[in-house]
Amino acid sequence: MAIEKNFLIINKLGLHARAATQLAKLAMAFDAKISLTQGDKTADADSVLGLMLLESSQGKEVLVRCDGPDQDAALSAIGNLIEAKFNEDE
């Protein structure tokens, strides 16, 4: 059974190229299908281009959905990355 949770994009630049690359690399480390949804757009978390096409800017909310053996760890790790502003100095 898949799990999902909403996260607020809080970093200044939103889900731009560097942030999307970090998220995609992290997503690939887990045995789970991970997707992000914002409004009517959904992207696989392991697709940098797909993530950038969500156009998630500061203040937008994204729904992270994980399904698979590592789903709990994946949701936690991705949530931590978003909450840590993608480890960027602002």
Active site residues: 16
Beta strand 33-38 pairing with 41-44:
antiparallel
The tokens describing 85, both together, are 């502003």
33 to 26, 29, 46: CA distances (angstroms) = 12, 11, 9
